[in-house]
Structure 1
Amino acid sequence: MKIRHYLVILGALLLTGCSQPAAKAEIRSGGGGTIVAINHTKWAINHFSVDGQSGIDIIGPYQGGGGGCCYGVPAKWRPGMTVKVDWETGVGYSMDFPGYADEQKFLSWAKKIKAQNKQHSAVVPVPDYTGQKTCGITVHFMPCDEVKVTTSCVSPGRPGYPINEPLQMPEPKVCPK
């Protein structure tokens, strides 16, 4: 019974955190929701944030995830509105994992994997959501380190969802600059 009591309290605290105003309450007074992401690339997203608010999950290649609580958008969209997305990419899988038995081999492998991590940052335009209900923010990580965002309440893949690129997008040989 005690464990159940603690779980109820923990759940209430988590939900209460989502109902609290964001640090910039005067800016984020519109619809609230979570921060989620869809990764259209072969790289893993080791971590990401939107305007400094964590997206929580690691997202594998060609997957979705996130779940950071809570993200609110301004009540009214303004021309030129943007968000800053920071993220780290890394290897999505490793076929040459040596195991843990030989510490030197493992440390050498871990160093090689970590050396492939890259830090990214982009200021991304927020599409006009005038007259629409907003539900947090969904970040789409695209090839060539491009990012798109939406505040749509429509689920990805459903009619009316504004970003319709395929999940498994090939990386071009040369990325536009």
Structure 2
Amino acid sequence: MPTFINHRFRVAMLGTLAGLLLVQSAHAGTLEAVNHTHWAINRFSVDGRSGIDIIGPYQGGGGGCCYSAPSRWQPGMTVRVDWETGAGSSEGFPGFGDWDNFLIWKKEIESQKRRHSKVVPIPDYTGQKTCGLTVHFLPCEELQVTTSCYAYGSPEYPIKTPQHLPEPQSCPK
């Protein structure tokens, strides 16, 4: 085999091998979310990767790409979740024909937006298949995450928190 072709073959094989190792070392999947609060999740990201969807109160969504869990779970693994909450409905929307009232309404909606950031532990997934990451948004800016491949609500899904959680009168500090 000529040297040039042999070299190209080796480069192609190394690229294929590297790709296979990458697939085995990290299981990529989407970023999903479940919102257990009366606020809308206007946006969220995990370690800087966008979760894409706006998620209404007591709904699920997401679909951002991608979260890759390392092939082996290790104690102390975390992710940073950044998110923005806001009004969960368009109640009181005066329409665009009444511009002055629209601006007042818009200012009220904007004043309810809050940005949050939290580092949360990734639960042990040793011996389990991983499928991206699902973030559960809970009252009082609490979060839970899972790498489970099961759908929220299925008996095998590890987080059993009900979809509708009552908002507490006050949150612990």
TM-score interval for Structure 1 and Structure 2 normalised by the shorter chain: 0.7 to 0.9
| Mapped pair 1:158 → 2:154 | yes
Aligned AA (2:122): V
Equivalent position SS for 2:56:
coil
- Give ranges in structure 1 of 5+ residues lacking alignment: 1-20
Identity %: 64
Amino acid at match of 2:120: V
Q: Partner residue of 2:91?
A: 95
Superposed CA RMSD: 1.7
Q: TM-score, normalised by structure 1?
A: 0.83
- How far apart are the structure 2 equivalents of 1:95 and 1:55? 26
Matched, 1:31 2:27: yes
**4+ residue runs of structure 1 moved beyond 4 angstroms?**
none
- TM-score scaled by length of structure 2: 0.85
Match of 2:105 in 1: 109
**Residue 173 of structure 1: CA displacement?**
1.1
Query: Is 1:77 the counterpart of 2:73 in the alignment?
Result: yes
- Counterpart in the other structure of 2:136: 140
State the AA in 2 paired with 1:136.
G
| Pick aligned residue for 2:39 from 38, 43, 50 | 43
Q: Which moved more, 1:89-98 or 1:118-127?
A: 89-98
Larger Rg: 2
- Equivalent position of 2:50 in the other structure: 54
Which residue identity lines up with residue 102 of structure 1 in the other structure?
D
Number of residue-to-residue matches in the alignment: 153
1:31 partner SS: strand
- Equivalent position SS for 1:149: strand
SS in 1 for 2:33: strand
